[in-house]
Chains A and B, each alone.
Chain A
Amino acid sequence: MYAFTYQKPTTIAAAVAALGADADAKPVSGGQTLIPTLKQRLAAPTALVDLAKIPELAGITVAGDTLTIGAMTRHATVADSADVKRLIPALAALAEGIGDPQVRNRGTIGGSIANNDPAADYPAGCLGLGATIVTNRRELAADAFFTGMFSTALDDGELVTAVKFTKPKRAAYVKFPNPASRYAIVGVFVAETAGGIRVAVTGAGAGVFRATALEAALASKGFAAASLDGVAVSADGLNSDIHASAEYRAHLITVMAKRAVAAAG
């Protein structure tokens, strides 16, 4: 780890100001990716701006069928929330399956989606549920927010403040974990929403994406696992590494999607 300065502002404005004052400053939310990266000397920010003491970033609120989760809300809080379990149990289950207890008690939803690790779980949940990403400047549809590997639509000085979810008719997330890291080799979030059926895939490609062939099959043949029989996903552009080839990942997308559809009931 290299030397850096450390600040813990109490307002979003102060955090943005601190980040704006130093081009090499980095915000830290749960730190579950950033801190290990620092320890391995793979990043050298001059300043860390810790978002943990900003009250308006934390907490879960409900308004009708809309669930708003503050950016600094920990995975364990989402997993345990009665409101989340009642409105979108698939999202609570997703949070319950991230990492291990230590990670879940430190990691945050805002940190996860702003980092947009190509094998992270939350991006699949946000994209699959058609969530709205709220920042200090605007609101963005999930479809517009995730732009590729470790890349989002966030501008400089823009922070995720919350994520808004609308209760779907039904939804489920099933992942095939990497046996070593337990990140998703393939994770599939399926949801039947007011805006249609959505199938979001994490782990398989350069970033989270929607499996349109599977969405179309479910829309035309009905929301049932059997509707995906024989529907193949192309391996083109999918990740290939020592754990899984692109061809195997493509196969697993359909299998996990079927299992998610079955689990969504």
Chain B
Amino acid sequence: MPDAPSNYQIGASVKRREDLRFLTGNGNYTDDINRPGQLYAYILRSTQAHAEIVSIDTKAARAMPGVVTIYTGADMAADGIGGLPCGWQIHSKDGSPMVEPSHPPIVVDRVRHVGDNVAVVIADSLAQAKDAAEAIAIDYKALPAAVSVTAAVAPGAPLVWDTAPGNQCYDWHLGDKAATEAAFAAAKTIAKVDIVNNRLIPNAMEPRAALGDFNPSSGEYTLFTTSQNPHVIRLLMGAFVLKLPEHKLRVVAPDVGGGFGSKIYHYAEEAICTWAAGKLKRPVKWTAERTESFMTDAHGRDHVTHAEMAMDGEGRFLALRVSTKANMGAYLSTFAPAVPTYLYGTLLAGVYKTPAIYVEVQAVFTNTTPVDAYRGAGRPEATFLLERLVDECARVTGIDRADIRRRNFIAADAFPYQTPVALQYDSGDYQGCLDAALAAHNYAGFPARKAESEKAGKLRGIGLSTYVEACGIAPSAVVGSLGARAGLFEVGKVRVHPTGSVTVFTGTHSHGQGHETTFAQVVADALGVGMDQVDIVHGDTANVPFGMGTYGSRSLAVGGSAIVKACDKIVAKAKKIAAHLLEAAEADIEFKDGMFKVAGTDRQKALAEISLAAYVPHNYPIDELEPGLEETAFYDPKNFTFPGGTHICEVEIDPETGVTRVTQFTAVDDVGRVINPMIVEGQVHGGLAQGIGQALLEQCVYDAAGQLLTGSMMDYCMPRADDLPLFYVGQHTTLCTHNPLGVKGCGEVGAIGSPPAVMNAVIDALKGYGVTNMDMPATPEKVWRAVQSGRKH
């Protein structure tokens, strides 16, 4: 990075430049796009959790008004359309690869979850498509369903896939089993917890949508889609599903209204609309209704875990062993296998110097919607079990909950720190985060507040969560060795126009994160130009050279680093041009405050003067240097980044009703260098809302037959403003040591750190009733029942 010019943007709470168009209804979302001659697709979905399709009769439906065609799985198969690919391969303990069933965009003969795709009706209007769909006669032969992970692994459970005995996808492990067992044998005290990480439904504000278009004159397909990573969709859909070469396939992800992971994956509707547009030579649009979102967007979490910590006589952690069953749903979504393994097991050291760790994970197929990464993806599950277990360690040893954490923290001077579960943390200060959070929260004042609550007949509890997570995914060679079928670099292209304004193309994608502002701040500082001279372009494979997209809080750490690298190339070339224009040696040119200056003189050129010379190369070193001022950089990260922090939650419970209210919430996070404090605070607020939602409100429920009971906002409880307190959000920063900006990532910390803080507070409030554990969400009835059974004792 260059030295700071006087109008330094990094660190300033610049207002989000994208918000004006969003707030005034001028966003350009996929469903806002319409093409001449457009048709509408309606997907007929399975009403059954598990059934054979004996027959599908579309004859009457085809004759309905406005119907152009109806396709079934057989039609796609006849065209050689492939299954939706899985992007990550996990191997079991015995070295065998995971069971990887086919995932056709439309099923052929068997449905495996409610919402599975059975047929697509394409008509002149959506209403006509829906009318026709009702006239399709399907004869199902119902099969018994395996719904929960516990039921699916029970002996004799119905098989989701004949190729997956016991419904097992893989049986993976990580860590040193022998060392762990030895430490347990020598332990003074062992703490144990049984944890359910509740299944969540993402619910981005904008439902998924896809619009396929085909240009017969060029033979080019275009897909407009609600994606977090258009290049990944182009690669997966082009190479594996439709078998189209990249140069004939353009994927555009325009404004996207939230993703939280659910829009990473390649979904069937994208392939169906693109394929159908080519067959019909007309654009085909599909937009999900909210109920379809509930049924078909990849769900999150859904782990059942037993964990134990071995301790010495002073509460020092000696070893951790963890056994988890993870629900994959009926099919493997794009990155599903990685979530409960390399995004989970590798995080089990947490912020503690536990010397031996062993984790086993059994991934299980069920007759439910596929499960994949959702805000945090594996790290919330790891953090929840670890931070609940640490509280249990405190309970069984009688050590104060903050003290037992301090006793086991990785020290601030121990970095880089190699954990026993593969990761090497580059920086952090867990003690500092904890101290800052305790002070900001007025932890010491809790007993007085508790006494006040008790006077009013209420129970009060406080809970801590001290966490670390891994972002900035990831060094391509490392993830490749772990089973990723992709590289995880990022791309930045910087185009300085002749008069000095700048367009930046990034392979990441903004769907609420504010990249158009944050990245512009970075570029403004890197090139010494005003914010108003910089535009950020993303989301179109026709504009952006390549990119792996936005997830895992990677955009600034990886995508921002690529942009910085491209800016560095611009500066390097500009120095050469400046040297020519200023008739000086290149080595004598220094770049400072946006000016290219001959060191020790007052002779200088602004970037705009250099760019003009680059595009009007009359006086230009044309023999040594190409004209133009445009550079591209691919950045492959050297390591993950490791944000962390301390969250403190305080709750008040009404024992008469069981209602739990979060009264205060303090988050002190270490997200590395903060580019835009306002945006970081907003990201943390959003994450906290989702984390508190998971802890108190949200729960995806299927009945035993596999019917989704929480299929609408009437039954699935999303957090609302009045469910949440005012948050205190602070930072205690250590810089990432291996990327040029020193950034770590802030998008997921809120959702990762907060659930155990909430549940530790709830359990603390209820400890007088003998409560030592409770599954999320802590609903009013669950809490009331805990109070009732505590009273009976």
On A, residues with C-beta under 8 Å from B are 1-2, 40-41, 176, 179-181, 183, 242-245, 248, 251-252, 255
Contacts A179-B779, A180-B713 given; does A255 touch B697 at CB 8 Å: no
Contact partner of A180 (CB less than 8 A), chosen from B127, B717, B784, B785, is B717
Q: Which residues of B contact A179 (CB under 8 A)?
A: 697, 717, 723, 779-780
Q: Which residues of A contact B130 (CB under 8 A)?
A: 41
On B, residues with C-beta under 8 Å from A are 127, 130-131, 134, 291, 656-657, 697, 701, 709-710, 713-718, 723, 779-781, 784-785
Contact partner of A252 (CB less than 8 A), chosen from B657, B709, B713, is B657
Give Cα A38–Cα B27 distance, bound, in whole angstroms. 29
Is A181 within 8 A of B714, CB to CB? yes
Is A248 within 8 A of B781, CB to CB? yes
Q: Which 6 A-B pairs have the closest CB atoms?
A: A180-B717, A181-B714, A179-B717, A248-B781, A255-B656, A242-B701
Q: Which residues of B contact A176 (CB under 8 A)?
A: 657, 780
Is A255 within 8 A of B657, CB to CB? yes
Q: Which of A1, A176, A180, A255 has the most CB of B within 10 A?
A: A180
Interface of A is mostly: loop
Is A245 within 8 A of B781, CB to CB? yes
Contacts A1-B127, A179-B697, A248-B781 given; does A243 touch B657 at CB 8 Å: no
Give Cα A179–Cα B701 distance, bound, in whole angstroms. 15
| Closest residue of A by beta carbon distance from B657 | A255
Contact partner of A242 (CB less than 8 A), chosen from B697, B715, B785, is B715
Give Cα A221–Cα B716 distance, bound, in whole angstroms. 41
Is A180 within 8 A of B657, CB to CB? no
Is A244 within 8 A of B781, CB to CB? yes
Give Cα A65–Cα B784 distance, bound, in whole angstroms. 42
Give Cα A180–Cα B294 distance, bound, in whole angstroms. 14
| Closest residue of A by beta carbon distance from B701 | A242
Give Cα A41–Cα B42 distance, bound, in whole angstroms. 14
Q: Which residues of A contact B717 (CB under 8 A)?
A: 179-180
Give Cα A252–Cα B717 distance, bound, in whole angstroms. 20
Give min CB distance, A148 to chain B, whole Å: 21
Is A181 within 8 A of B715, CB to CB? yes
Give min CB distance, A196 to chain B, whole Å: 27
Query: Given A179-B779, A179-B780, A180-B716, 18 other A-B contacts at CB below 8 A?
Result: A1-B127, A2-B131, A176-B657, A179-B697, A180-B713, A180-B715, A180-B717, A181-B713, A181-B714, A181-B715, A242-B715, A243-B715, A244-B781, A248-B780, A248-B784, A248-B785, A251-B784, A252-B657
Q: Which residues of B contact A248 (CB under 8 A)?
A: 780-781, 784-785
Q: Which of A40, A183, A242 has the most CB of B within 10 A?
A: A242
Give min CB distance, A169 to chain B, whole Å: 26
| Closest residue of B by beta carbon distance from A181 | B714
Give Cα A244–Cα B701 distance, bound, in whole angstroms. 14
Give min CB distance, B788 to chain A, whole Å: 9
Give Cα A176–Cα B779 distance, bound, in whole angstroms. 13
Give Cα A245–Cα B291 distance, bound, in whole angstroms. 25
Give Cα A1–Cα B709 distance, bound, in whole angstroms. 23
Give Cα A134–Cα B697 distance, bound, in whole angstroms. 41
Give Cα A244–Cα B697 distance, bound, in whole angstroms. 13
Give min CB distance, A132 to chain B, whole Å: 32
Is B709 within 8 A of A180, CB to CB? no
Q: Give 21 A-B contacts (CB < 8 Å), ordered by A residue.
A: A1-B127, A2-B131, A40-B291, A41-B130, A41-B134, A176-B780, A179-B697, A180-B714, A180-B717, A180-B718, A183-B714, A242-B701, A242-B710, A242-B715, A243-B715, A243-B781, A244-B781, A248-B781, A248-B784, A251-B784, A255-B657
